[in-house]
Structure 1
Amino acid sequence: MISKVLCFGELLLRISPAASEEAEKHPFLLYVGGAEANTATALAAWNIPVKYCTVLPDNFMSRYVINYLEYKGIYTSSIQFSGDRVGVYYLDRGADLKSSVVYDRDHSAFSELKRGMIDWDKVLRDVSWFNFTAISPALNENVADVCLEALEAASKRKITISVDLNYRARLWKYGKKPVDVMPALVEHCDVVMGNIWSANSLLGTSIDEHIHEKGGREAYLEHAKATSLEIMERFPKCKMVANTFRFDQDKNNLLYYTSLYTDGVQYNSSEFRTTGVVDRSGSGDCFMGGLIYGSYLHHNPQDIVDYATAAAFGKLQEQGDATGQDVLTVAKIKTHNAD
């Protein structure tokens, strides 16, 4: 039996305005999205056996979505059928999920998940790695409880667990603060990815409020190390922490670099710079995919962070939520940046 990576989370349909030259015929564009689906798509493109677990209504639209996922090389046998609608979000062209986004996911099939609805014994039987994000427990208390149910089941099977600490301020509206929910989930995690600000918002880790004034790569990376150490001290199961830094230096210039802390050593990527970004959505999901890719293949930590960073940087020049880069494309980006 092939050991698979399982990505668990809500599949979303994204609607964005088309470019001006296309808008006359097709004013809006539709993409398959959702953080965990994006990560699964990246892993499948890099020939890692990956399956995706979500909840979709039993209708023709879901079948088209499943056909698309299978075309991308993702195993879909763990997708559950329930509820009446697929969640949707609207994102302005070229925008960031932290800014111009409108969610329309209330009463979606995934948001109505409850404990006991998923047979985790069946879903996890061929899984060696379980990946989820902080977006799922941000939806409501029941989904947060399902996440804990899944993590408890995965932990019993000694499955490696990773979490992306994506913080969405427009979520977390059900009366619980992130710091009241996320620590109990991260206790089960072997790999934590995010940044110093999301870790502060979701886990309550320390943050230097004057870090921007200090500025500079050295100061940010030193803070990443301190955050990594704090996470590992609080959550002893965690063996790897990754931090990403993406700065819009002005309207057209973007700076990107990352770090990975494991076994008492921090490994830093080189700096990536670009003028102009096609689509900011999904870059972090691509980085998460890179971490899993390198770890699954037992690459050394420097190679893991270098690959993940190059993949995430390359995603910035792709339209849509998920990457279409293959391994050679990512390798070329990494090599070109090193020249």
Structure 2
Amino acid sequence: MKVVTFGEIMLRLAPHGYYRFTQAHDYEATFGGGEANVAVSLANYGDEARFVTKLPTHEIGDSAVNDLRANGVDTDFITRGGERVGIYFLEKGASQRASNVIYDRAHSSIATAKPEDFDWDAIFTDADWFHFTGITPALGDNVAAICEEACKVAKAKGVRISCDLNYRKKLWSTKEASETMTKLAKYIDVLIANEEDSEKVFGIKSHATDVTAGSLNREGYIDVAKQLKEKFNFEYVAITLRESITANDNRWGAMVYVDQKPYFSKQYDIHIVDRVGGGDSFAGGLIYALMHGYEPQEAVDFAVAASCLKHSIEGDYNRVSVAEVTALAAGDGTGRVQR
């Protein structure tokens, strides 16, 4: 199976361990970004994963391309040009102190891209699936227009389309997000969201649920999924359910809603090594499962298990195999040494 993802890959700079920005004297450099993370997951699972973006022609751009290639991702349709690779700084939270992200991505190559930079007809040759996130159209009206053109071509070719809402308040307002994502929603077959994103982007919220209190209401999320389905006619609505106990400890699960029926995964108590990319690993797991014909319950269980494992891995990428995910989904979560 072949998947195309489109978005921005960034240079990630993070102090070692749990040092704060104001303490750090050196930073670890890696790469990551929503759609790139999904592509890496799917490449790890054995599918063909093609990541599309625009990167500068200098050595940092080369390094990003090489990093993707090293993880099995097809980079043949990455356009080269522009001035810079976007950067994000990550300060890991601990206990009651939240993680913090600072973006330095203005005027990156992808943010200044033009429609003629991408030949979507060629990009989608033999493709089965297209994935993007709400982060990508948030980079500018020009990128939102490129996203829409990609969706039009994908839809015309019979390619299934998924989107993770991924609202980022540091990139755009709720009004801007609502206007743009409502326009793109008509192309989307599988919507992935969480309780906050659905409210901030589409004004649809879960009643009787307080995300800051760490409590979840199952009926409330079924209602949210129904509203999203009725408003936009998505085939699948997936809602990730995170209960934040502290920055280090969460309960993690999800629901998939299809054919007027909800399917809830089991919940995992996770001790977090690295939270960034957790949602992307869920998206990658769900795409893999749906492409390969998993039933809804199997699909949500696979996706949540994949994301659970990602929380134990440093960096943006989920470096796990189908066998590892399947074993956890089947109940092997003891963490015993494999000998």
Q: Normalised by the size of structure 2, how large is the TM-score?
A: 0.90
> Which residue does 1:179 correspond to in 2?
178
2:221 counterpart SS class: helix
Q: Which amino acid aligns with 2:161?
A: I
Deviations 1:231-260 (A, max 9, x none): 111112x10000011122245431111100
Separation (CA, whole Å) in 2 of partners of 1:56 and 1:151: 21
2:158 counterpart SS class: coil
Separation (CA, whole Å) in 2 of partners of 1:214 and 1:252: 15
Deviations 1:42-80 (A, max 9, x none): 110010111100110112222222222112111111111
Separation (CA, whole Å) in 2 of partners of 1:255 and 1:34: 24
Alignment of 1:64-103 (within 5 A): 64-94=63-93, 100-103=100-103
Q: Give the conservation status (yes or no) of the 8 Å contact 1:259–1:268.
A: yes
Work out whether 1:61 is the aligned partner of 2:56.
no
Deviations 1:292-333 (A, max 9, x none): 000111111111100100110111111101111111221232
Q: Give the conservation status (yes or no) of the 8 Å contact 1:290–1:309.
A: yes
What's the CA shift for 1:107?
Answer: 0.5
> Which residue does 2:222 correspond to in 1?
225
Q: Pick the aligned partner of 1:262 from 258, 262, 265.
A: 258
Q: Give the conservation status (yes or no) of the 8 Å contact 1:4–1:127.
A: yes
Work out whether 1:307 is the aligned partner of 2:306.
no
> Which residue does 1:280 correspond to in 2?
275
Per mean C-alpha deviation after superposition, the further-off stretch among 98-107 and 135-144 is 98-107
1:336 counterpart SS class: coil
Work out whether 1:27 is the aligned partner of 2:26.
yes
> Which residue does 1:159 correspond to in 2?
159
Q: Which amino acid aligns with 2:222?
A: K
Q: Give the conservation status (yes or no) of the 8 Å contact 2:93–2:99.
A: no
Q: Give the conservation status (yes or no) of the 8 Å contact 2:248–2:273.
A: no
Separation (CA, whole Å) in 1 of partners of 2:113 and 2:124: 18
Q: Give the conservation status (yes or no) of the 8 Å contact 1:196–1:223.
A: no
What's the CA shift for 1:33?
Answer: 0.4
What's the CA shift for 1:264?
Answer: 1.8
2:217 counterpart SS class: helix
Separation (CA, whole Å) in 2 of partners of 1:212 and 1:63: 44
Q: Which amino acid aligns with 2:274?
A: D
Separation (CA, whole Å) in 1 of partners of 2:287 and 2:110: 24
What's the CA shift for 1:25?
Answer: 12
2:28 counterpart SS class: strand
Deviations 1:207-253 (A, max 9, x none): 42x42299787x522222111111111112x1000001112224543
Q: Pick the aligned partner of 1:294 from 277, 283, 289.
A: 289
1:259 counterpart SS class: strand
Work out whether 1:10 is the aligned partner of 2:8.
yes
Q: Give the conservation status (yes or no) of the 8 Å contact 1:94–1:279.
A: no
> Structure 1 residues 304, 19: closer, same or farther in 2, change over 3 A?
same
Work out whether 1:192 is the aligned partner of 2:188.
no
The answer for unaligned runs of 5 or more in structure 2 is 335-339
Per mean C-alpha deviation after superposition, the further-off stretch among 250-259 and 296-305 is 250-259
Q: Which amino acid aligns with 1:292?
A: I
Work out whether 1:39 is the aligned partner of 2:34.
no
Q: Pick the aligned partner of 2:244 from 242, 248, 251.
A: 248
Q: How many residues align?
A: 330
> Which residue does 2:170 correspond to in 1?
170
The answer for unaligned runs of 5 or more in structure 1 is none
Deviations 1:252-300 (A, max 9, x none): 43111110011221110011003x3111100000000011000111111
Q: Which amino acid aligns with 1:54?
A: T
> Structure 1 residues 307, 8: closer, same or farther in 2, change over 3 A?
same
Q: Which amino acid aligns with 1:231?
A: L
Q: Which amino acid aligns with 1:233?
A: E
What's the CA shift for 1:83?
Answer: 0.2
Q: Which amino acid aligns with 1:128?
A: D
> Structure 1 residues 268, 215: closer, same or farther in 2, change over 3 A?
farther
Q: Give the conservation status (yes or no) of the 8 Å contact 1:18–1:26.
A: no
